[in-house]
Chains A and B, each alone.
Chain A
């Protein structure tokens, strides 16, 4: 980690090299460690240290962006020069999105020294325990244990200067039998590595793997499903991308366009984005340095708001809600700290409420088929079970669904009171999700 002082000094150095009308400097430091295991042993084990400077400069009506991880004094100057050359090489844009003025973001304590300093030996010990528990059941465990520490500075020529640092620890495992015909998945994520319970993760996955042996095939068709939190997090991700962002609305491909305050979802569904929530992975400002606001997306089934960045906010004559990804971009703002509000049912009550249905641990390879209704296809994976007469019964072969995630939130019959935290490393999105019961979930195929 470089520390706030050094990063702010680097930002000042960058500003000293530009005569742009407006300039924005983003500095990101990452120290990431990951131990990966398969067949009950560690097989990949890595560490990465990187620090990146990204600058956006606006000269008149021309914008240029340059990024480099050479943060030596010469490197910083070269990056500023590249950004200027890029800006000046293009025609004037009629209406370039300005670099925003904003207030200081709330300070959030999301940095846990124990996570930042976690050693490979400690990760190996936890993994050893997971593999030992799996091996004792004649099963094999695969998975990864990651501990990250990061710092972010966003500063701009309007005097905005935001700093945040944090940590993330994530342990997940897929435990399977030797033939690969039965498997179970479990995960735990927290800013604090000390609260991750490796044994609990292992036992959940092992239990699912043991119960998954000799699955029966169910015919495709509509079923009531219990989506466990990992599957619900996946559903939330696609709704963030395709429905609850201002660009999707402006481009007329979002289901909620023009439907504010209409009750289009189940009254059991409340969805919001909150970068400041202490039970998430806090992220107090966005990639333009704008403080994140809590945005209510669905409230007891009613459509509420969508998230904005500066570019989309200007079109609608509103303020940014602090949901920019690095700008300029073509994908628009993103709700990346998503919460599905808990209900009042225990997990057992959810199961007891289903006459005949399917319990789904997680989804796999979900892809958009059509955007408006967030029509999705994908498969179930690592723990799929039949529910009969309010009880989990036999394991079932994985199924392919082709179903609308909008409809899934219309048909959400019940919501569990316990929630779980997830962090998607690829997109940087975080989710806190409960298990939910959904009626009329449509399956179109069965795997072999």
Chain B
């Protein structure tokens, strides 16, 4: 790997690149799926290759190849330079990266049990048991489709640059999901998942065991069936809502994580993902949320899907303050844009899906810091409200202001107690108004670093894995309704 990287950088420099970096990556993905009592999918996918990013004539070029014999490497380097020089013809300014980042080091994600060393039969049996536990529940005439899944990822990545950076990183991820889909003759369809769709962390098999899939399976199937007979969420224009921790994670991802991506702010994603309402004039000036809202972008917390040693520009992992006491104080940045806007050193948010993609500004772990409440106390403190649990649908406009999220289920809260189960619940709002109405956040005993394994951005499309530390939180004056 190291020899290949050195050869590529040398070629690029000799042929006129003023800057070059290369990532050589090998990724292994193992997927195990059980559906309706049988193994549905068992596969292992290995992807390897290199991507070389150059600046020549003041413009970017990038080429990536899965094959590394001399002719392929030679062609890829030439292609990257050809692309840069073609782009330079219409450039409006030269790319500048600010101070060099000549970091050398290595990083290995923390895990106790290497999931690739756990026998396949142990993994399959775990899913078969969880599946069986879902299918054993009393159906009351409902039709049930059960699915469960384990996903494991191993990634080895070398980064080197003409500035002298040389970084080796190795990470392991483990993810899991169980799902019960219940239907009835009336045509109602209800889904429950656990932990929340697929939950994933940069941890080993111990993460899977800690989720207690088998123990939770009967409850998940029962709730899917119960939802068929539940009342729809009653509409209100000013409801008090409590969001479960995983729904807070999704709310942070969509309404805070995406709009703080500095490339979006500068309209670089305008043709696809969109722009951001957090324009440059809002920095340090906007009251984004209430005073108890504190959000960080933190690539250093253990276990997060956005946890690493160095980003894909070779910048060390950092903890950046985004929302401080409700005020908007920071973006996620990269080297080029941090230099352009004099924002100091990049805060290390450049991430690529794999060897064949350029890094883009991506969420690391964007977290709502814990507050002071216990969840039971918060519910007891709520006279009339709705508890929304586990995301089902999510949609937000291209500036990240107007959102509408549905969850798999909700509970009515009356007189400080959870009373009725409610189906097809939806809440909708406008980002800063919503966060300013936050009047309670639960404490660290409820705080989980939720994994979002499928965050999409960029062209060609890139799916990156992000993390979100979150605990349940309460919001006032929210518009809620239901749809089926």
Chain A residues at the B interface, C-beta cutoff of 8 Å = 32-52, 63-71, 79, 82, 86-87, 89-91, 93-94, 119-121, 123-124, 127-128, 131, 140, 142-144, 146, 172-174, 176, 180, 183, 251-253, 328-330, 364-373, 375, 377-379, 381, 398, 400, 402, 425-426, 444-448
Contact = CB atoms under 8 A, between A and B. Distances in A.
A379 B395 contact: yes
A45 B483 CA distance: 43
A445 B430 CA distance: 11
B47 A69 contact: yes
Given A46-B460, A128-B90, A69 B46 contact: yes
B266 interface: yes
Interface in B76-134: 76, 79-80, 82-84, 86-87, 89-92, 119-121, 124, 128
Contact of A131 (B90, B147, B483, B484): B90
Given A39-B266, A91-B39, 11 more contacts: A42-B87, A49-B72, A50-B49, A65-B43, A69-B66, A86-B43, A251-B145, A252-B183, A253-B181, A372-B187, A444-B428
Interface in B6-41: 33, 35, 38-41
Contacts, number: 264
A50 B356 contact: yes
A51 B84 CA distance: 24
A369 B62 contact: no
Contacts of A89: 42, 119-121, 124
A45 B62 contact: yes
Given A67-B43, A67-B45, A86-B43, A142 B270 contact: yes
Nearest to A379: B397
Contacts of A93: 38-39
A144 B273 CA distance: 12
A67 B86 contact: no
B92 A63 contact: no
A252 B142 CA distance: 11
Secondary structure at the A interface, as helix, strand, loop or mixed, is strand
Contacts of A398: 397
Nearest to B270: A142
Nearest to A49: B65
B402 A48 contact: no
A447 B397 contact: yes
B271 A330 contact: no
Given A49-B66, A143-B271, A252-B143, A366 B395 contact: yes
29 contacts: A39-B92, A39-B268, A42-B87, A42-B91, A43-B60, A44-B60, A45-B86, A46-B63, A48-B356, A49-B64, A50-B65, A79-B46, A89-B42, A89-B120, A90-B39, A121-B89, A123-B86, A140-B267, A142-B268, A144-B271, A144-B272, A180-B275, A328-B41, A369-B483, A372-B187, A372-B188, A425-B461, A447-B399, A448-B401
A370 B484 CA distance: 5
Contacts of B119: 89
A38 B271 contact: yes
B402 A447 contact: yes
A202 to B, nearest CB: 13
Given A123-B86, A370-B424, A364 B60 contact: no
Interface centre among A46, A143, A328, A400 (most CB of B within 10 A): A46
A319 B402 CA distance: 46
A158 B329 CA distance: 63
Interface of B: 33, 35, 38-49, 59-67, 72, 76, 79-80, 82-84, 86-87, 89-92, 119-121, 124, 128, 143, 145, 147, 181, 183, 187-189, 266-272, 274-275, 356-358, 392-399, 401-402, 404, 406, 424, 426, 428, 430, 456, 459-461, 483-484
Nearest to A50: B66
Contacts of A425: 459-461
B189 A86 contact: no
A70 B48 contact: yes
Given A32-B460, A140-B267, A180-B399, A91 B124 contact: yes
A82 B45 CA distance: 10
B67 A51 contact: yes
A404 to B, nearest CB: 9
B460 A45 contact: no
Nearest to A69: B66
B31 to A, nearest CB: 9
- Top 4 nearest A-B pairs (CB, nearest first) are A89-B120, A120-B86, A65-B43, A142-B270
A143 B60 CA distance: 16
Contact of A36 (B89, B267, B459): B459
Nearest to A426: B461
A38 B268 contact: yes
B404 A377 contact: yes
Contacts of B67: 49, 51, 71
B44 A67 contact: yes
A38 B72 CA distance: 31
B62 A47 contact: yes
B86 A124 contact: yes
Contacts of B40: 328-330
A48 B460 contact: yes
Nearest to B64: A48
Contacts of A64: 42-43
Nearest to B184: A252
Contacts of B459: 34, 36, 44, 144, 146, 425
Contact of B90 (A41, A49, A67, A143): A41
Contacts of A38: 266-271
B402 A448 contact: yes
B404 A45 contact: no
B147 A402 contact: no
A173 B271 contact: yes
A3 B231 CA distance: 59
Nearest to B456: A426
B341 to A, nearest CB: 14
A299 to B, nearest CB: 23
Contacts of B183: 251-253
Contacts of B143: 251-252
Nearest to B90: A128
A371 B187 CA distance: 10
B402 A42 contact: no
A364 B86 contact: no
Contacts of A252: 143, 183, 189
A45 B80 CA distance: 9
A33 B340 CA distance: 27
Contacts of B76: 47, 49
A325 to B, nearest CB: 12
A369 B272 CA distance: 22
B483 A43 contact: no
A375 B87 contact: no
Nearest to B394: A367
A51 B424 CA distance: 44
Contact of A51 (B61, B66, B272, B406): B66
Contacts of B483: 369-370, 375, 377, 402
A329 B31 CA distance: 11
Contact of A120 (B38, B87, B147): B87
A82 B44 contact: yes
A144 B270 CA distance: 11
Contacts of B404: 377, 400, 402, 444-445
Contacts of A121: 86, 89
Nearest to B38: A93
A370 B483 CA distance: 7
A190 to B, nearest CB: 18
Nearest to B396: A365
